[in-house]
Amino acid sequence: MSTATHYLADVLKSLAQPTRLKIVDFLRDGERCVCEIFPAIDEEQSNTSRHLNHMQTHGILARRKEGVKIFYAVKHPEVFEIIDLATSIVKNEVEVRSGLIRGAERGKP
């Protein structure tokens, strides 16, 4: 079992979860503290904290302490590119499945 492949899977797994996607999306504008994040994504504080910790541990988020508050930010701009690419896959799948376009005609106007 290649360890590199496992690390790669871990990074992708850090993004492949609805609650974490909501967090990352909320962080598009930059650093936010936990107290801003969990109300914005409408999740429990404890659950939000766990996901933030998960992503920080896996190298996706940076953590900064300022007094009582902890600020998190997305560390790698590639994260947003990945999500945007995955979004375009989803959009195309939805179009193809709804019969709007044929599978072979991706991207053509």
Partner DNA sequence: ATACTGTATGACTATATAGTCATATAATCA
Partner DNA sequence: TGATTATATGACTATATAGTCATACAGTAT
Q: What is the total count of residues that contact DNA (CB under 7 A)?
A: 25
Q: Cα(15)–Cα(64) distance, rounded to whole angstroms?
A: 21
| 4 binds DNA, rule: CB under 7 A | no
Q: Which does 22 bind (CB under 5 to 8 A by kind): DNA, a copy of itself, none?
A: a copy of itself
Nearer to DNA, 17 or 92 (CB): 17
SS (H, E, C) 17-73: CHHHHHHHHHHHHCCEEHHHHHHHHCCCHHHHHHHHHHHHHCCCEEEEEECCEEEEE
Binding status of residue 96 toward DNA by CB under 7 A: no
What is the binding site for DNA (CB under 7 A)? Answer: 13, 17-20, 33-35, 43-47, 49-54, 63, 67-71
